[in-house]
Homo-oligomer: A and B are copies of this chain.
Amino acid sequence: MPSVAATTRLESMGYSGAGATPAMLARMGPVSAPANFAEGHTIYAQEDAADHLYEVVEGMVRTSRLGTDGRRIVHGFFVPGDIFGIEPNGAHNCSAETVCATRIASCDRSQIERRALADRAVATEFWSCLLKSAEQAGAHMSLLARATAVEKIAHFLLEMAERMSANRRFALPMSRYDIADYLGLSSETVSRAFTVLRDRQLIATEGRSVTILKLEGLRRLDGLAA
């Protein structure tokens, strides 16, 4: 999979305004100027060398993995401020694609590791990235293992609202298929769960944008421990 540069103008897509500059990565080392990518662009593919770290500046990225039988699993969605691409062995386990028009900053992994060995603050920052992603993976495992479809969607909406720092209304750029593969459901079941939450007056939907009507109602459906 080649890395062709994208051209879409982001300002016209409605996803501007968030973090316009890379924050996390910049604290760790020299960062390339953010590059623009169109929707559906592959940043890296499964088995590619894992020699860079990336930060979403604007838009959204998903990481996913294909099973031998064609089943797809979406491992995560990344919003502005999130770092992705940290993986072991020098080879990626997942591929990363843009969910919508997206601006991404990147930086050489070996450079960060070199700096981390010299600078205590960089090392701490790097660790906290790793630990944070491990923590999220753990929470997600709990969700996949034991939650019902409606619980999964409720949790997903709360997670997305928090990560996109949206109070009530926010746009979900990814498709129902993406959400399904993230939560281990079929796209039809995702649709039905949205319908259930809408019928219960917990959310309102308008295309791919969602408004949370009863935060507490959603939280009650989210049976994860504190």
Contacts and interface: CB of A to CB of B under 8 A. Distances in A.
Given A141-B75, A141-B144, A184-B145, A132 B66 contact: no
A86 B142 contact: no
B226 A88 contact: no
B183 A145 contact: yes
A64 to B, nearest CB: 10
A117 B126 CA distance: 12
B67 A142 contact: yes
Binding site secondary structure of chain A: helix
A168 interface: no
Contacts of A198: none
A223 interface: yes
Interface string A64-82: 0111110101010000000
Nearest to A135: B88
Interface string A130-142: 1111110111111
9 contacts: A67-B146, A67-B223, A68-B225, A73-B142, A86-B134, A88-B132, A88-B135, A133-B134, A146-B184
Interface of A: 46, 65-69, 71, 73, 75, 86-89, 93-94, 113, 116-117, 120, 123, 126-128, 130-135, 137-142, 144-146, 181, 183-184, 223-226
